[in-house]
Amino acid sequence: MEDKLNKNGGLNKSLKLIFVYTVATGSIFTFVNYWDSVFYGYCGSGTFLAFALMTVAILPVALVYSELASLFHTSGGELIYNTVGINKHVGFLASWLIMAAWISVPPAVVMAIMTWVNKTFGLNLGTWAMVGYAAVLLVLYFFMSIQNVQFLVKAQAGMLFCNITVTILTGFLLLFSGHWHLANFGNIFTTTLEPVHGISGWLIGMALLITPYFGFETVPQMVEEGDFPIKNSKKAICGSILTCGCIYVFYYFCVAGLDGLKNIHMNFAQDGFLTIATMQNVLGWTFSPIVVGVLSCLLGMGASLLGFWMSTVRMLYSMANKNFLPKGFAKVNKNQQPLLPNIFLLALSLVFIVLQNSSDFMSAFFNLMSFGCACAYALTMVSAVCIHHKHPQWKSTNTVKGGDIFRIFAMLIAVAIAFFCTLGQGIDSWICFGVYLGIGVVIWLWMLLINWKKHPVEIETPDGIQQF
């Protein structure tokens, strides 16, 4: 089908619902065979249960997002919802918080891919060699990102399908490997998190599992390009969570019962690739770990990178369109892709790669990503309440049952997750998070003192374009 080109030089309205769904699902379904060591460290053999509970916990938040997404037909998500609901200052804060998670994914993914390549093929690459190859990967993804959006979403969907297929098949192979026993589960409420242990530590670990669910909020960034009824955005938002949640639960249930898992985690795979290491060292498999690595680590993480890359670019595009950033960020190339946001994200990702491997900045920053994202979710829930009080005439096709009671309930869930994510964090994490917020303050001051005096914030609402 021929693209419906925006006459004003904006984004193409050409995406079918299935591709918006795969963008969100691909964003969520990441690091499944890389961060499995991290997840196991959080919640031990009970990781599958923690994922089940987190899936249920995050759904109310997703339902409120679905309600809001059907009211606004342009990209922006948190930027729009919080600006209209509260004010433009909160709108900027929420979008800045959510982007803390998004912008950290591309550098994390390319380094994870290079880590797998280095380990699998015994290349023994040094730190800066890894950085160099990761930078080349980022540049390749950049050139992909400036192509036609149809090419991007189809490539991402193909990567996602490979990842999901191999993950499910691997789960069944592990379950019937002859090395799987219920007795291996032991006490499912265990954690390696310091300094808390037992059920309290396990609950903190469960809260940190919000990280694998980052991505459903990418759907509102894509609605401007959606060629489908806006009410169907709910299917993409909630469908992506349920799809990934069910696979997470199944897969980590299959992993948890393997022989020698705890020993492998302690001695071989504290930093990543727990399942692959178990395949190699306990099951004695040689070919399957490589297949899993190629289809899950290489292609799966690539799908996530593309999902978050597209979403970050569209958030920056939306911020420029609504006068939160210079108008240059809203210009598109011949493929109707925002060019300057793509260049900016590439430059930022390259800086993050260097920081990740020359200091503890990135690891410390990663520790509070979940906190920032949960705070953005909480602010958006509050804004949902405010929008419905300020504009009762605006009727969403996805109105949540229970009204404000449900929205406040979703807000409390997000606050609780944010609180648990702060427990046990070191001073380095807070310093890095403070640096990130400080950069945001500088941008906000520029908008407040210079940009907004000349160019007021303009947002398309159900009542037309309004200034804020």
Residue among 418, 307, 368 nearest 315 (CA): 307
Please report the pLDDT score of residue 356 as a whole number.
73
Structural domains in the chain plus CATH codes: 17-467 (1.20.1740.10)
Helix, strand, coil share (%) of the chain residues, nearest 5: 70, 5, 25
Taking the C-alpha atoms of residue 133 and residue 141, their distance in angstroms, rounded to an integer, is 13
**Cis status, amide bond into 195, omega within 30 of 0:** yes
Tens digit of each residue's pLDDT (9 = 90 or more) over 403-416: 999 999 999 999 99
Instruction: Judge contact between 271 and 37, C-beta under 8 A.
Output: yes
Instruction: Judge contact between 394 and 230, C-beta under 8 A.
Output: no
Taking the C-alpha atoms of residue 248 and residue 25, their distance in angstroms, rounded to an integer, is 12
Is residue 444 over pLDDT 90? yes
Q: What percent of the chain has pLDDT over 70?
A: 96
Query: For 459-463, what is the mean pLDDT?
Result: 93
Residues with Cβ within 8 Å of residue 183, at least 6 apart in sequence: none
Please report the pLDDT score of residue 197 as a whole number.
72
Taking the C-alpha atoms of residue 166 and residue 214, their distance in angstroms, rounded to an integer, is 21
Eight-state DSSP code of residue 399:
P
The amino acid at 158? G
Tens digit of each residue's pLDDT (9 = 90 or more) over 229-288: 888 999 999 999 999 999 999 999 999 999 999 999 998 887 789 999 999 999 999 999
Helices (DSSP H) in 368-446: which residue ranges?
369-390, 404-422, 427-446
Residue among 15, 403, 4, 416 nearest 218 (CA): 15
pLDDT confidence tier of residue 364, bands split at 50, 70 and 90: confident
Is residue 8 over pLDDT 70? no
pTM of the model: 0.92
